Amino acid sequence: MIEIKGLTKQFGKKSVVDDVSVAIQPGTITSFIGPNGAGKSTLLSMVSRLLDADTGEVLLDKNNVKKWKSTEFAKRVSILRQANYINVRLTVRELVAFGRYPYSKGRLNAEDNRFVDQAMEYMNLTDMQNQFLDELSGGQKQRAFIAMVIAQDTDYILLDEPLNNLDMKHSVQIMKILRKLVNELGRTVVIVLHDINFASVYSDQIVALKNGKLVKNGPTNDIINSDALREIYDMDIPIQEQDGCRICVYFNSHTGS
């Protein structure tokens, strides 16, 4: 289990994340939502040890993240950030195979290759496994990176806005795959989402941040209602039910300024 305790991060004088405490429930999809500059990505970076917190701590199985050995942590928690510019030429398969590094240290055995094959299968990349990344579209590239993280075979998968630059079809595909990872393989997914409706339809838990502070934290149904959303986004957002999903119809809302 991942527990976030009193985490604070300042850039200059500004608190980007301010005393946030959350426990991530295992076996769920937890979405971090909130307006721009709420500190979602910064929080995720600290959870995944990409960034050091100023105060507070992150615990994985009761042990501080900083005390974990890097390799062991990499077998438990994976993180994928939004910007993934790489200046080496890699094929899809080579990239996905990097996901096995914590186990193989660069020398793949049969089991590693099985994981790589499976991950590519999962992300529908098998046909293009020998293509170079720079020949792919943004969506295909994003899928290749997610496949790398799947091949890493971790209990926790942290994703920072994985739907950025993806069209509707690919966004839905990726969210469905994440759902499958949770339902079938018992993984825990923590995801920063910009689109409130993807959060509403696909996540079990929602953590809402605003100006670096935790404003809401709970099961999706407790958060996706007009009152809670007004508090988070300063907008009146009507909600409609569609096939048992709550959809926020915010496109024509009054924005208050």
Partner 1 sequence: MRNSTKLILLFILVIISVLLYGFYDIKGGFDYAFPRRMIRVAAMVITGVAISYATVVFQTITHNRILTPSVMGIGSMYEVVQTVIYFFAGSMSIWIVNKYLNFGAALVAMVIFALLLYRFLFRADKYPIYLLLLIGMIIGTLLGSLVTFLQVLIDPVEYLGLQSLLFASFTKVKAELLYIAFGILFISFIYGSFIMKKLDVMSLGRENAINLGINYDRMVMNILILSSILIATSTALVGSITFFGLIVANLSYQFFVTYKHSVLIIGASLFSILALVGGQFLVEHVLELRTTISVIINFVGGIYFIYLLLKESRDTA
What are the residues binding partner 1 (CB under 8 A)? 48-50, 70-75, 78-81, 84-90, 94-95, 98-99, 101-102, 105-107, 149, 152
**Please, what is the minimum distance in Å from the beta carbon of residue 192 to partner 1?**
14
User: Would you list the DSSP string of 39-66?
Assistant: SHHHHHHHHTTSS--SEEEEEETTEEGG
Tell me the chain's radius of gyration from C-alpha atoms.
19
Report CA-CA distances (Å) from 35 to 47, 77, 239, 251.
20, 26, 18, 15
Residues belonging to the chain: 257
The answer to whether 17 touches 46, Cβ cutoff 8 Å, is yes
- Closer to partner 1 by Cβ: residue 90 or 215: 90
| Identity of the residue, 17 or 223, whose beta carbon is nearer to partner 1 in the bound complex | 17
List strand residue ranges (DSSP E) for 156-226, in order.
156-160, 188-192, 205-210, 213-219
Least Å distance between CB 102 and partner 1?
Answer: 4
Nearest to 223 by CA among 240, 203, 242, 250: 203
Please report how close the Cβ of residue 15 comes to partner 1 at its closest, in angstroms: 20
List the one residue out of 144, 29, 11 whose CA is nearest residue 80: 144
> Closer CB to partner 1, residue 38 or residue 95?
95
Q: Which is nearer to partner 1, 65 or 207 (CB)?
A: 65
Nearest distance in Å: CB 101, partner 1: 4
- Closer of 189 and 201 to partner 1 (Cβ): 189
Strands 55-60 and 63-64: antiparallel
Q: Which is nearer to partner 1, 106 or 256 (CB)?
A: 106
CA separation, residue 199 to residues 73, 115, 150 (Å): 27, 28, 21
- How many Å apart are CA 196 and CA 206, to the nearest integer? 10
The least distance separating partner 1 from the CB of residue 252, rounded to whole angstroms, comes to: 38
CB of 78 to partner 1, least distance (A): 6
